[in-house]
Structure 1
Amino acid sequence: MGRWPEKDGGYRIRGPVKARFASATPRDPASWRRLGKWEKPRPGEVVRRRIVSVVPAYVWDVSRTHGAPLPELPRPRLLEGEAPAGLWEGLTEQAESLGFEVLRMPRDRIERGANGCIDFETRQVMVCADMDPAAQVKTLAHELAHVRLDGPNQRDDAREHRGISEVRAESVALMIAAAHGMDTSDYTIPYVAGWASNVDGKDPVAVVRATGEQVRSTAF
């Protein structure tokens, strides 16, 4: 990236040391064997990397580095234009069937100035009215996913990690929008990537994959 760290400005951590293991029968834990540095797997073998030890290593906070400007991370871009005919009404009917009232509100009336939010006590779904209809209906799909997946009685890991909850809800919104010919990728991809990266102790890709079945069943 063309940047360098300040002298003595790093944090000492335990860095993982990984080794390659191979197996022709990966379901059998006892079948895995460690490969040598230049050793190739045998035909038909599966290769995986595993942590075998840790060594002292250093990392630096970006504020303690200098050099080339840091690239800007992509930010979610609100959808523009009209919404598919009937989609808002259909999603509203689903929310009402679950006992929730759908309200369009000015942004300054919504908690933290968000695009949308839910009040589970008053059973209200609020969507920011200061957006184009396409963004409003995508937001309603997102909040409806929260209604179905993240109610007070839910007892899964999303209750502990908001990032998991947000990844699921936005992924559901993407699938609903795509089914009606809407492309939400400019908003959804940066949004999901950002929240998945904020789940402590979990790989972002693993977070997204783990939500797959819940997303599919909720969207359909």
Structure 2
Amino acid sequence: MKKKGKWNQNQPNIQEKVEELISILEDGVSNFTYSPEEFKALLEMKALMPDYSFRNIMVAKAQYPNGTFFAPLKRWNELGRMVIKHQKSIRIFKPKFKKVNKEDKENSTTEEKQLVGYISVPVFAYQQTEGDPLPIDKVDIKLDGDCPEAREIIHFAEKIAETDNCPVTYGDADGANGFYRPATHEIVVSESLSTNHRCKTLVHELVHSKVHRYDTSSSTSEKEVVAEGTAFVVCSFFGLDTSDYSFRYVKSWSKSEEDALLKYGSQICNTSKKIIREFKTLMEEKSEQILKTA
């Protein structure tokens, strides 16, 4: 993994650097492709999963944003996997039909199914299960490593969250890398992640806490593209390259909207600049304290 140099006064100003990083993000997402091995694994995984509509996938992701594949409990059990204890089911919609008799022009009666509505049914995300390995395990990308830049970003991200009365805890993230809970205004990051991945996830959830706390109108896709895009820009600005993870994450949320980054680019830019300035203020305060005690 590449690491950019730490920000200093001789580098481009915030506006120029952020615009440069957003351009890198746009190119990276646009040109992202899975390797032949990964693509094969995804096809194998898709063949094992129920074929849900795009609408149902979005309904599921709205409840469990980090979910990649969804299936009923019975199907996971057939695949040798069990739902992790205390995991809550995700509700999607299943069409409900009834049999009706229909007469044709020759007065012959035939029986056919007629859609009469939809019922809610429970499913679980792959991340909520454990057990036998599946093809998707070959595509499960994590950011490895423990660099000083990541530790510094974590420190200041925690400070910003603390100022906003948003608790940050590290522990069980319900099978996800992390999540932000608007109802209690808190961030939870998985303790199983490496320092570098923990850093990226914390910034991602910090964006949710600052931008989406009271947002009930934006789609889940918009929220995730903005959060991950901003996390990439902020982390890269301060020396941590998250492109291996961020490009594919943004791509997964924007593939149904090819112009997603064009639509949300200005919001990513503005949010990134705001958070970067908050980081810089804290850095300057830290430097002043060091000078006073020197």
After TM superposition, the score normalised by the length of structure 1 is 0.58
**Cα distance change on mapping 1:191 and 1:120 into 2, 3 Å:** same
**Cα distance change on mapping 1:150 and 1:70 into 2, 3 Å:** closer
Q: What is the CA-CA distance between 1:121 and the residue it aligns to?
A: 2.0
Aligned AA (2:144): E
- Per-residue CA deviations over 1:139-169 (Å, capped at 9, x if unaligned) read 00000011111112x25xxx34211110100
Q: Which stretch shows the higher mean deviation, 131-140 or 70-79?
A: 70-79
Aligned AA (1:209): L
Greater helix share, structure number: 2
- Which runs of at least 4 in structure 1 moved beyond 6 Å after TM superposition? none
Answer yes or no: is the 8 Å Cα contact 1:75–1:190 preserved in 2.
no
Q: In the aligned structure 2, how far is the partner of 1:147 from the partner of 1:130?
A: 22
> Which residue of 199, 207, 214 corresponds with 1:137?
199
Q: Which runs of 5+ in 1 are unaligned?
A: 1-68
Aligned AA (1:80): D
1:173 equivalent to 2:231? Answer: yes
Q: After TM superposition, list the pairs within 5 Å mapping 1:52-91 onto structure 2.
A: 71-72=39-40, 75=139, 77-83=141-147, 84=149, 85-91=151-157
> Which residue of 137, 142, 162 corresponds with 1:96?
162
**Cα distance change on mapping 1:148 and 1:70 into 2, 3 Å:** closer
Q: What is the CA-CA distance between 1:129 and the residue it aligns to?
A: 0.6
Q: What is the CA-CA distance between 1:71 and the residue it aligns to?
A: 3.4
Q: In the aligned structure 1, how far is the partner of 2:249 from the partner of 2:165?
A: 28
> Which residue of 201, 207, 218 corresponds with 2:260?
207
Note the aligned Cα RMSD (angstroms).
2.2
Q: Which runs of 5+ in 2 are unaligned?
A: 1-36, 43-137, 277-294
**Cα distance change on mapping 1:76 and 1:192 into 2, 3 Å:** farther
**Cα distance change on mapping 1:128 and 1:168 into 2, 3 Å:** same
Percent identity, aligned pairs only, is 26
Aligned AA (1:216): C
Aligned AA (1:207): A
Answer yes or no: is the 8 Å Cα contact 1:75–1:187 preserved in 2.
no
Secondary structure at the aligned position of 1:103 is classed as: strand
Q: In the aligned structure 2, how far is the partner of 1:141 from the partner of 1:177?
A: 8
Greater strand share, structure number: 1
Answer yes or no: is the 8 Å Cα contact 1:75–1:191 preserved in 2.
no
- Tell me: higher relative CO, structure 1 or 2? Use CA pairs within 8 A at least 6 residues apart: 2
